[in-house]
Amino acid sequence: MTLGAVSSTGHSVAMYREGQLRLYTRQDRQLQLRLRLSLETVKSLAVNDRWVAVLTAPRRLSVWSTDTNSVYPVWSQAVPEEEGLLAWTDTKLAVGWRSGAVAVYDLQGVRQRWRGITEPITAITWDKSGTLWVGTETGTLWRTRAEASERWVRLSIAEATAMCANDQFVYVASGDSGVYQVETRARTIAQRWFGHPASITALALCQEGVISGDERGMLWRWVAPSPVPREEFVTPLGQVLALSGLDSQQCSVAVSPQGVALLAWRPKQVRWLLQLKPDQS
């Protein structure tokens, strides 16, 4: 079996494998299994430190609490599509559908009126101000709010494969193994980084910039204005499927087909929190 959809913060990890959704919480250097559900055909999922959202076929969106062991969702409802990407703030869940539609739900499952875009969506992320940023298969960055969606920057890249954002910049990974730092107020590309030997599959914020992870387990930390990576971290992970930002102890959590690992950057160490057997990955 293959490891399906995954999502990770520094505290929570959700993964779908062998027909089961499994939710773990991290206590120091251990993972505790909080919830295990049998589900069919999970298409996408996203977790924050209180909620896990799951998009399943045929066309259903459900949310569970990470604070309880209840197998019953907090809410669950039919949705118009089943191919989409999910992203959380503390209190809102965004869904970017493959068709270009955008939906935002509150914690009670009430759908708010948001404006869609006109291109297939391949990556989404929130910034801290509550603005939703959307990347498309044409390499365009959109800013999406309740009142309008705007084509923000045309990056002229292969499709956006991963995104993250802070109050000043949106970071976009492209299909040609590049990372773009977009200054949001000026609508300009502040920095372009290249050099990954493989396709970039995950991005995460760090204090001074961004960390990228690729399909071979290589992680690079980028800090502007340097055109070369500040640090590189060669890991035994294989493909990095999900990556959390650095915490106060300079550690991040990464998910790969081999399992879940705690990555310490000072000094560089890899500690497996959960290892998957080859026939379970």
Separation CA 25–CA 5 (nearest Å): 17
Residues in Cβ contact with 155 at an 8 Å cutoff, skipping those fewer than 6 apart: 139, 140, 141, 172, 174, 180, 182, 189
85, 124 Cβ separation under 8 angstroms: yes
- Name the CATH architecture for the domain at 6-205: 7 Propeller (2.130)
pLDDT of residue 86: 96
The pLDDT value recorded for residue 278 is: 66
In this structure, are strands 268-275 and 121-126 parallel, antiparallel, or unpaired?
A: unpaired
Residue type, 272: W
Closest CA to 48 of 14, 74, 15: 14
Check residue 1 and give its pLDDT. 38
Whole-prediction pTM: 0.91
Residue type, 187: R
- From edge to edge, which strands make up the β-sheet containing 169-174? 160-165, 169-174, 178-183, 188-194
| Residue 152 contacts residue 139 (beta carbons within 8 Å) | no
Instruction: Give residue 281's pLDDT.
Output: 46
| Regions in the chain scoring below 70 on pLDDT | 1-3, 278-281
* pLDDT at residue 16 in the model: 93
Q: Copy the structure tokens of residue 75.
A: 């809410």
Confidence at residue 279, expressed as pLDDT on a 0 to 100 scale: 53
CA–CA distance, 207 with 205 (Å, rounded to integer): 7
Please write the tens of the pLDDT for every residue from 92-122.
Answer: 999 999 899 999 999 999 998 788 888 899 9
